[in-house]
Amino acid sequence: MTQRAGSDGGPEPATGQGRALIDAGAELDPVHPVKPPVRHRPGGLSAAEVAERVARGEVNDVPLRSSRSTADIIRGNVFTRFNALIGVLWVIMFIVAPFQDTLFGFVIVANTGIGIIQELRAKKTLDGLAVIGEAKPTVRRDGVAAEVSTSAIVLGDLVELGPGDKVVVDGEVAEADNLEVDESLLTGEADPVLKRRGDQVMSGSFVVAGGGAFTATKVGRQAYAAQLAEEASRFTLVSSELRSGISTILKYVTWMMVPTAIGLIISQLLVKGDNLKDAIARTVGGIVPMIPEGLVLLTSVAFAIGVIRLGRKQCLVQELPAIEGLARVNVVCLDKTGTLTEGGMDVTELRVLAGFDAAYVHKVLGALGESDPRPNASLQAIIKEYPDSDDWRCTRSLPFSSARKYSGAAFSEGDGQSSAWLLGAPDVLLAPDTPVLADADALNEKGLRVLLLARVARETDGVHGPDALDAPDVAAGASPAALVVLEQRLRPDAADTLAYFEEQEVAAKVISGDNAVSVGAVAGKLGLPGAEQTVDARRLPADRDAMAAELDAHAVFGRVTPRQKRDMVGALQSRGHNVAMTGDGVNDVLALKDADIGVSMGSGSEATKAVAQIVLLNNSFATLPSVVAEGRRVIGNITRVATLFLTKTVYSVLLAVLVVCWRVEYPFLPRHLTLLSTLTIGVPAFFLALAPNKERAKPHFVRLVMRYAIPAGVIAAVATFLTYQLARSHYSGPGALKAETSVATLTLFLVALWVLAIIARPYTLWRLGLVLAMGFGFLVVLVVPWLQDFFALKLVGTTMPWAAVGIAVAAAVVLEVAWRWVDRRFPA
């Protein structure tokens, strides 16, 4: 096919696809004069000019941040509010107490080290995957187009654009072929903007139709998107109920802890006035367990390990809370093409309609394929089946747009004849009563994609009116020439994935730009419930509430425009649904951006990958259940262990209050609480936080945790203080305090172990073994002489030890009753 003429009458330079680009500026649109452009170099910069600009630092050197820096990770784990408090207490204990009472500090150091190591491992995984998924813009240098990394673009580079491409630096349009750019991510305005030569394009926008090239005028930190990134990094921890809930809990803990600690300090100094060091040691012993120091650590470790696990499955999590978010999702919206079906297509049939010759139609299809420099999947299948004869000249082209559902081109046929053609959705191009639509519907019911080739009416032919293809009524009077039947390949894993979502009570909604009947047939083959009741989105009400009602009642929607996809996501969210949107095309970007969680295929457009929180680099829809399962594991397990940590905080604060009110010595030294915390919280929490967990994520994290932690902590504190008071009246003499502490420790351990036993339910062999192992560990401490001395624990006599056990058993019974009452009174 002959190249189209450029504005100067000569052929334009070839793009990376070897096809010409046409300047849609001055020659065809005198109403919109072209702005004076920057100097246009059709072949791009030379290698020497690129090297010169690199030497001057005129390079797009903004780092792609997929994760926190190493320094930020270390700083975030080490310099925390609670680490600072524990550090001060640790130093004090080194001065006034024996080594055993400083063990809590070593535990914190070990925990912090574990947190840093796991986050660094997650960073390595994230950064490695980010490089794989990084956009590779096409840059023309020395007349040759090649893909380069975003950071390799220099000032003055000629960057080519096609549908779905993201504008990676600021620039000025040098070549335009019906170039339409969506700037909604920058301006919030969803309507595409037609760009002509000399117009400005900003980084962060993306191409929805047409093609072209622009000259980079601002790179690095001067580019618009980079300036936005300075204010908000790409790695932003947003919309995480888990993290915000833990922050809320820690805030309230701090408020409770400060006055309680002050009261404890004063009371212990008054009670132990003759032994300052012991008073300080017991004060610290009361303050340290109030701090849920391991909770934040385990949350970070759980997220980090989740990233590593998903990374092994080629799943790039661009924002960590996306793991949590997808676990909370109860509606997932799926685009058909590229999600339920594979990207490629095959032409299976060509039905030439009356009045047209098959050979002529073949030639038209070949010419249409050659007219588009960036063909979509449908046109690629046509190009493969009907190669261009190379003797027609394209005089005007209209690239495919998801909004209008068709493309077109006008040709000079070489023998003095001219014609204009449209290729697109039959039900969009034809009147509803056209007989051809019945044939198209019958094919759609088999799950096939059907395109109509139609000749534009003579009075709107491209030769007589070059802008006629852009007219809204261009299809009026068009003559149907042929039906092009395409078969889409179903993803082999799609049916199992849809079945998984149904099992997990996650509603799947298929929203596609294709014919509704065809989409329903594909969804039906995959076993989606409700696939037989399809809805044509052109008949959907504009009112949000009415649209939400339709969405709740149906599962398959066809002929959905990009803006409608976004409106549908908003309508579902207005009903309180947590919505995930999956897609790979530029028509999915607006919906991906507004959804609670956006999921893009790795083969998707640069724009979709830029706005998505999760990118499936292996293009496997079957990876989604793994992400959901990982999120549920994180949320469910952190909820479990948070209950353990906050039970300790509650009983520590209440014990301190009781000690202050009764004006007695605090019963425990730091070593005792270190032992209890390690056996009933630290070690088991680490295993529970990383264990498999398929429970559906529940909302209201703070309420869910505190409704168990408060009664458990109160029961533990009251039982322990009761045992301590009985022991004070039972024992006397020089070793009385040690004996009193020992039986109080026994009661507290048994009650805390029962809390662990409840948290570990439902039991599996390893969970039961974990609880028994912790009990056995405490028993070893009580019977091994050197451990008795090390932890200052020795049970004296039989009366009080058995009384301590009896009180613990009674507390466990009350705990079970309280737990069940909470479940009935405050259901999740």
Spot the catalytic one: 335, 372, 514, 584. 335
Q: What is the pLDDT of residue 417?
A: 82
Residue 474's SS3 state is coil
Residues 383, 478: one domain?
Answer: yes
In this structure, the strands spanning 534-536 and 579-583 are unpaired
Plot region of 355 (φ>0 → left; ψ -120 to 50 → alpha; else → beta): left
Shared domain check, 535 and 462: no
First to last CA, the chain: 67
Asked whether residue 748 is domain-assigned, the answer is yes
771 belongs to a structural domain: yes
Three-class DSSP category at 441 = helix
What are 146's strand-pairing partners?
139
- What radius of gyration, in Å, describes the C-alpha atoms of the chain? 34
Contact, 600 vs 617, CB < 8 A? no
Residue 393 maps to a domain:
yes
Q: Which distant-in-sequence residues (6+ apart) come within 8 Å of 431 by Cβ?
A: none
CATH of the domain at 256: 1.20.1110.10
The answer on 643 and 597 residing in a single domain is no
Q: Are residues 325 and 243 in the same domain?
A: no
812 and 663 within one domain: yes
Q: What is the total count of domains within the chain?
A: 3
Paired tokens of 211: 């093609």
pLDDT of residue 134: 67
Q: Are residues 574 and 600 in the same domain?
A: yes
Beta bridge partners of 173: 214
Q: What is the pLDDT of residue 573?
A: 94
DSSP calls for 478-541: PEEEEEEEEEEEEPTTHHHHHHHHHHTT-EEEEE-SS-HHHHHHHHHHTT-TTTTSEEEGGGS-
42 within a domain of the structure (yes/no): no
Residue stretches of the chain with pLDDT short of 50: 1-37, 229-238, 460-466
Q: How many CB atoms neighbour CB 365 within 10 A?
A: 26
Mean pLDDT of the chain: 83
Task: Using the 3D structure, point to which of 450, 485, 520 is the last residue of a domain.
Answer: 485
Domain annotation covers residue 33 = no
Does 221 map to a domain?
A: no
Contact criterion met (CB below 8 Å) for 815 and 712? yes
CB within 8 A of 660, min separation 6: which ones?
A: 260, 263, 264, 266, 267
Q: Is 618 helix (H, G, I), strand (E, B) or coil?
A: coil
Partners of 488 in the β-ladder: 345
- Full 3-state SS string of 237-249: CCCCHHHHHHHHH
CATH of residue 379's domain is 3.40.1110.10
Q: Which amino acid is at 451?
A: L
Domain that holds residue 555: 315-340+491-619
Q: What is the dihedral of CA 313, 319, 324, 330, to 10 degrees?
A: -90
* Same-domain status, 471 and 372: yes
Domain identity same for 244 and 354: no
644 and 784 share one domain: yes
Q: Which DSSP state fits 63?
A: -
Domain assignment present for residue 601? The answer is yes
Q: Is residue 55 part of a domain?
A: no
Other CB atoms within a 10 A radius of the CB of residue 726 amount to 19
Tell whether pTM > 0.75. Answer: no
Give tens-digit pLDDT for 193-222.
889 899 999 887 888 888 899 999 988 877
Same-domain check for residues 355 and 470: yes
Residue at a domain's end among 576, 601, 619: 619
Q: Which long-range contacts (CB under 8 A, 24 or more apart) does 459-466 make?
A: 460/420, 461/410, 461/418, 461/419, 461/420, 462/395, 462/396, 462/409, 462/410, 462/411, 462/418, 462/419, 462/420, 463/395, 463/410, 463/412, 463/418, 463/420, 466/28, 466/395, 466/396, 466/410
Q: Are both 76 and 106 inside the same structural domain?
A: yes
Q: What is the pLDDT of residue 227?
A: 59
| Domain closes at, from 619, 640, 669 | 619
Active site residue 596: no
Hey, what are 35's tokens?
Answer: 């702005």
Tens-digit pLDDT profile for residues 372-385? 877 877 888 898 89
- Return the CATH number at 531: 3.40.50.1000
Distances (CA, A) of 182 to 206, 403, 607: 5, 12, 10
Q: Give yes or no: residues 273 and 397 share one domain.
A: no
